[in-house]
Structure 1
Amino acid sequence: MATYNRSEYILESIQSIQAQTYQDWECLIIDDGGTDNTAEVLAPTLNEDPRFQYLFRTSKYQKGLPGSRNYGLDLAKGDYIIFFDDDDIAHPQNLELCVHELSTKDITFCRYIRVGFTGDFVYNYDYSKEYTSFYIDSSDINKILKNELQFNSCAVMWTKECYENHRYTEHLKYAEEWEVYARIITLVKRGISINKILYYGRKHNVSVTGDFGNRNLSSLASYTDAIELVIANLKNKKMLSAEIIRYFIQVSLQYKEYNLFERIINTLALPKLEELKWRIFYLHLPLRLYFYGIWKKVKK
């Protein structure tokens, strides 16, 4: 759990970890250099429960969520890795059900459902252990990148091996999870997705996601950087399809101020004729989208 000036919410978050039905865990709380009274709020719990460790990110790691999480990854001793945010609530069965899936099946990660809430959290859990599930592997990468199959923050438990050769890209301030997940999923064995709500994300504007929704410039720039890294990774692994190129070029229309289209073309390093094809596609794309919008309205 990375934290930064979240004393208002963090106690409720760690209490949801203490309430887990699976009790064999360690929780590394990495403070990113906050200036509020988080340490004071946490002190009673730290004194009573040795499973929690409260540490400050060292200068070896860049300031920010990715650097703090990388520090935690380098310290983690468990067989499985999960990231919780400092203002959210974990379902009591979160660890129990994920560990059960990972320990009884030949899989490398367990994805579950995350829902949002605002205001005070309502403690009314579904404790059923009956749920449907489906498998996920590298063939689903396009769906994941297009958010048709969402990999939400804090909604996946990974085997430690998934992060053996992977760390968060520390200069990214948004989409850092999306970028590292794309790298991991193209390399590891299949995982499972269970259709049960096991995590509750608090919605408010004072968050990274809120910054992106409010069009914070650093978050928007970070997203374009992440797209460039994802494309380079897929290209190196020979997993870059025309479908996903088309998708990201369409996305680049919204990020002209960041020169995203040219960065995509440069990263692709295509033969001249193929590059010309995509340039023509990009040139005509606004008109195509305009007529597509009209067609959708007529169809309704």
Structure 2
Amino acid sequence: MKPTVTIIMATYNRAQYIVESIKSIQAQTFKNWECLIIDDGGTDNTAEVLGPILIEDNRFSYLKRTDNYTKGLPGSRNYGLDIAKGDYIIFFDDDDIAHPQNLELCVSEFKTKNIDFCRYIRAVFTGDFNYNYDFSKEYTHFEIDKKDVNRILKNELLFNSCAIMWKKECFVTNHYIEHLMYAEEWELYSRIVSQGYKGVSIDKILFYGRKHEASNTGEFFNQDPVRIKSNAAAIVLVIQNLKKEGLLSNSIIRYFIQVSLDYKPYDLFKRIIKTLELTTQDTLKWNLYYSQLPLRLFFYRLYKKHLK
């Protein structure tokens, strides 16, 4: 039977966590799925610990990323996208835990609403996981479309990589940018929404992310230069897309110019200005804004502190 959902799980040296993640997939109340486990060239005993599961449950496929895709999470996920059989796509990480109702509730939203994606809440945990799930099916929801792109880009509306189920059609012309080693899902998901794809967000925790320093996010907040450089590159790509889709505004330009203060070693401000292809007058305006920004932020923080 053709699977309804394809779960794509890229993995790299996570033998200590991956079995627990796999067990949470097997515990799903919705059963018609396939799970593509794409190994990005790991050197630990992941294949060995997965062996018994692969034998007992043929819904899992364990594959090595081919050389047609760049090494890294984006390339591994793109490989999964290109061989997926399901009508819906969801990305799970190899160290996290999925709520048992994850697939069931998302598929139900697709069956009852004309949507392209279903977003839900992702919680985080450290150490041992508490399996005390909430199985309620009562929750609120709200709609998301391209008017919400700026909220997504400012992380006011989080689009976590493992907190959205998508229609497969969203990826026909959209894939991950494979040279990005951080913010690749932020760039891709905002690009998809900017093209007019619509969805809903349901107010229920359906995924649990494990916090540890070896994760991509942990490395970013520990100032790993590869992740920082990638985030700067993703910002430039986002601005290119906003320009293409006619969604650039002064407010989002101001936001990214402010962000660029933290990326001076990567010349992010100059790259933003170059990407915008502004008139001479507008270039001077934004250069003046950028030069005055540190002083503005200093007085703004003093003002906020005074209000407390």
Whether these two folds match at TM > 0.5 is: yes
**Residue 96, structure 1, aligned to residue 107, structure 2:** no
CA distance in 1, matches of 2:246, 2:279: 15
Amino acid of the structure 2 residue aligned with 1:46: L
Q: Which residue of 2 aligns with 1:229?
A: 237
Q: Which residue of 1 aligns with 2:201?
A: 193
CA distance in 1, matches of 2:182, 2:120: 21
**Residue aligned with 2:229, SS:** helix
Count of aligned pairs between the two proteins: 300
What are the ranges of 5 or more consecutive residues in structure 1 without an aligned counterpart? none
Q: Which residue of 2 aligns with 1:177?
A: 185
Q: Which residue of 1 aligns with 2:27?
A: 19
What are the ranges of 5 or more consecutive residues in structure 2 without an aligned counterpart? 1-8
> CA offsets, 1:201-243, max 9 Å, x none?
0000011111101000000000000000000011011111111
**Residue aligned with 2:33, SS:** coil
Q: Which residue of 2 aligns with 1:148?
A: 156
CA distance in 2, matches of 1:116, 1:193: 18
Pick one of 72, 89, 109 that aligns with 1:64: 72
**Residue aligned with 2:122, SS:** strand
> CA offsets, 1:45-76, max 9 Å, x none?
00010000000000000000000000000000
Could you list the structure 1 runs, at least 4 aligned residues long, displaced by more than 4 angstroms after superposition. Answer: none
8 Å Cα contact 2:74/2:181 also seen in 1: yes
8 Å Cα contact 1:110/1:158 also seen in 2: yes
**Residue aligned with 2:173, SS:** coil
Q: Which residue of 2 aligns with 1:122?
A: 130
**Residue 54, structure 1, aligned to residue 62, structure 2:** yes
8 Å Cα contact 2:30/2:101 also seen in 1: yes
**Residue 77, structure 1, aligned to residue 85, structure 2:** yes
CA distance in 1, matches of 2:111, 2:232: 37
**Residue 292, structure 1, aligned to residue 293, structure 2:** no
8 Å Cα contact 1:162/1:188 also seen in 2: no
**Residue 138, structure 1, aligned to residue 159, structure 2:** no
Q: CA RMSD in A?
A: 0.5
**Residue aligned with 2:16, SS:** coil
**Residue aligned with 1:28, SS:** strand
**Residue aligned with 2:271, SS:** helix
8 Å Cα contact 1:64/1:173 also seen in 2: yes
With structure 2 as the length reference, what TM-score do the two structures score?
A: 0.97
- Structure 1 residue 188 displacement after superposition: 3.3
Amino acid of the structure 1 residue aligned with 2:295: L
Amino acid of the structure 1 residue aligned with 2:203: N
CA distance in 2, matches of 1:113, 1:44: 32
Amino acid of the structure 1 residue aligned with 2:180: L
Q: Which residue of 1 aligns with 2:42?
A: 34
CA distance in 1, matches of 2:111, 2:285: 48
